[in-house]
Structure 1
Amino acid sequence: MSFLGLIGCDNGRNIRSICKNNPEICADLHKDSWCLAEKTKIIQNRYAVKDSEVTTGKQLYIQLTDLEDYSRCIELASGVQHIIHTERTADRARAFRLSTENLSVLQEQTRERQDPFMSYYQWTRFGDTDALNRFLELENTGEVSDPFLLAQAATYYSNRNAIKAQQLYLKVFAEIPFDDFDVNWLLGLASTYRQTQQFDKTYMLTKANLLLTQQKYSEQKMLALLGGNKLLAAELDLKAQTLIDSLEDASYPLSLVKIWLESQAVAADIKPETLPVHSDEK
């Protein structure tokens, strides 16, 4: 409860309070306001797991990725010379050196971990095919339940096994909070429906992505997915907005649009053209 209370405070007061009462959490970090978002995430997550008896794979993954983000940011900041307060420049350089050292140490300490999150990390950071195979096997046996990881598995399968990718994406849509939702997953799922010749769903999901990102697009290419059927396009435009609304208000799991997406009916007599990509075309 104390941690949740701090989260609700202003970030500056939040991290000052944590660092004052737990100086070991912040000892390797810089002191000024550069890279505040990255520093705040590290401090808050370190505080959240400070008294944990066992650190989970997800917690380690967050620590690793937080350190990566912080290290990239503070590297740039360490190159900015402070004319008056030169000690601040030196402090940022020290923080960059320590962050890279700490990242390397944590990566080495976790190389033998075989849980889903660390398998995914080892695959994506080190190109470890054994870790990839282990990650896929863990997903196949039902040991991967986190929506973020399920989405990564879906992305892997999107050009290899469209039906498998569909099932994974749809599970993610039903489980992940909208704040953690990646709009690119709409295009990933749209691609799988295109592969299975369900062009109405391809259109609807692509349109939902376009509505959320406000990207410019070719209406002609969009209509080509539906054989130029403007009435069907209008109906699917409404479905796209309904999908967005249901994801935003967490009603998607009980929505009619979910049932429609999960049905395997193939739209008939629709001859597709190239799936539109984001562009400046009109």
Structure 2
Amino acid sequence: MKFWLLSPLLLSLVACGEQELTVNQVCEEKPGICTDLNDDSHCKLERRHVIMGRYDEQKMPSDKNKYKLLIDFEKYSKCIELASGIEHIKLKEKKTTRVNGYLTSLKEIKRLNDETVSSLDPNLLHYHWTRNQSESHLAKFLQAEQKKELETPELQIALASYYMKRNPQKTIDILHHALSLYPADAEVDPEIYTALTTIYYKQKKFPQSYHWALLAENAGVQRIEFKNIKAELAQQKIETDSIEDIADSTIESIQTGQFKVPAF
């Protein structure tokens, strides 16, 4: 279960007077942050995020902007690596710009990795732990937990990835806390629902497992093992109607930003 994947980051937008800068405007003002990327339509969204992220990082090289750019470059690198292997029949130089873009992504990821290795920013601590298998960064990340510095849903989900196999009950508490941190009408990472479904199922707490499976389904998750869960409920002669009512209440509480742990 990929808890380290974090839900998608919001695109950083830079104001130009009262209007947002476009990619074309950024590339005209700072051509150096565009010319070493691909210049065709492949990976258009990922390229846009990288360009705007590079612009932000140059203006303000903060840990926050460096972390965002690292994630943007990872997504761009994955996309352009695939595209760089596609022959462009009529314009073969297009393939070359994709290769250049891929090489740029590797270079920039290394640069940002090196520049942030000493950072105590929780997102970067998690990054270096998961990407570089750094135990020292993990230790500092867990220290940040004790200092209450991980108070975002994304960081709580990252923390849950550590405790998942070590302490299932603590993982449940962390994921519940993550839900309590979402504001009203926020997009909730469905990994929370699938994780809770799985943990409760393994604990043989089938009403709770069914409850979170319903929320996962509501969030668009497919391939939920309702058949197995319902079979266990039927064997224990537990009706599903009341659980479904609780699930409806939980969905409403999350949507209004007032999540409370459901009682069974």
Q: Does the 8 Å CA contact 2:213/2:224 hold for their aligned counterparts?
A: no
Match of 1:6 in 2: 20
AA in 1 matched with 2:89: I
Q: How does 1:235-274 map to 2 (within 5 A)?
A: 235-247=242-254, 250-253=255-258, 258-261=259-262
Q: How does 1:224-239 map to 2 (within 5 A)?
A: 224-228=231-235, 232-239=239-246
Distance change in 2, residues 1:72/1:226 (3 Å): same
Unaligned 5+ runs, structure 1: 8-13, 268-282
TM-score by length of 2: 0.80
Distance change in 2, residues 1:168/1:217 (3 Å): closer
Match of 1:155 in 2: 161
The match for 2:51 among 23, 34, 43 is 43
- Measured in 2, the distance between the counterparts of 1:118 and 1:214 equals 29
SS class of match (1:31) = coil
Aligned-pair CA distance for 1:45: 2.6
Higher relative contact order (CA 8 A, sep 6+): 2
The match for 2:109 among 78, 103, 111 is 103
1:187 aligns with 2:194: yes
SS class of match (2:20) = helix
Match of 1:278 in 2: none
- Measured in 2, the distance between the counterparts of 1:194 and 1:217 equals 12
AA in 1 matched with 2:50: I
| Greater alpha carbon shift after TM alignment, 20-29 vs 227-236 | 227-236
Match of 2:3 in 1: none
1:55 aligns with 2:62: yes
Residues paired across the two proteins, number: 249
The match for 2:29 among 1, 16, 21 is 21
Distance change in 2, residues 1:214/1:119 (3 Å): closer
The match for 2:144 among 120, 135, 138 is 138
AA in 1 matched with 2:47: K
Unaligned 5+ runs, structure 2: 1-13
Match of 1:85 in 2: 91
| C-alpha distance after superposition, 1:61-92 (max 9, x if no partner) | 22112111111211221222223222222222
- Measured in 1, the distance between the counterparts of 2:112 and 2:261 equals 45
Distance change in 2, residues 1:239/1:18 (3 Å): farther
| C-alpha distance after superposition, 1:196-236 (max 9, x if no partner) | 66442222002221343353555542224435467731221
- Measured in 2, the distance between the counterparts of 1:101 and 1:74 equals 14
- Measured in 2, the distance between the counterparts of 1:141 and 1:76 equals 41
Match of 1:201 in 2: 208
Match of 1:212 in 2: 219
Q: Does the 8 Å CA contact 1:200/1:225 hold for their aligned counterparts?
A: no
| C-alpha distance after superposition, 1:146-188 (max 9, x if no partner) | 2211111123212322332222211211223666522121122
Q: Does the 8 Å CA contact 1:223/1:229 hold for their aligned counterparts?
A: no
Distance change in 2, residues 1:28/1:45 (3 Å): same
Decide which structure has the larger Cα Rg and report it: 1
- Measured in 1, the distance between the counterparts of 2:91 and 2:228 equals 57
Match of 1:71 in 2: 77
**Cα RMSD for the two superposed structures:** 2.8
- Measured in 2, the distance between the counterparts of 1:130 and 1:137 equals 11
Aligned-pair CA distance for 1:252: 3.7
- Measured in 2, the distance between the counterparts of 1:106 and 1:37 equals 21
Identical counterparts, % of pairs: 27
SS class of match (1:205) = helix
TM-score by length of 1: 0.76
| C-alpha distance after superposition, 1:225-275 (max 9, x if no partner) | 43546773122123324433543xx3041xxxx3342x5xxx5xxxxxxxx
| Greater alpha carbon shift after TM alignment, 31-40 vs 170-179 | 170-179
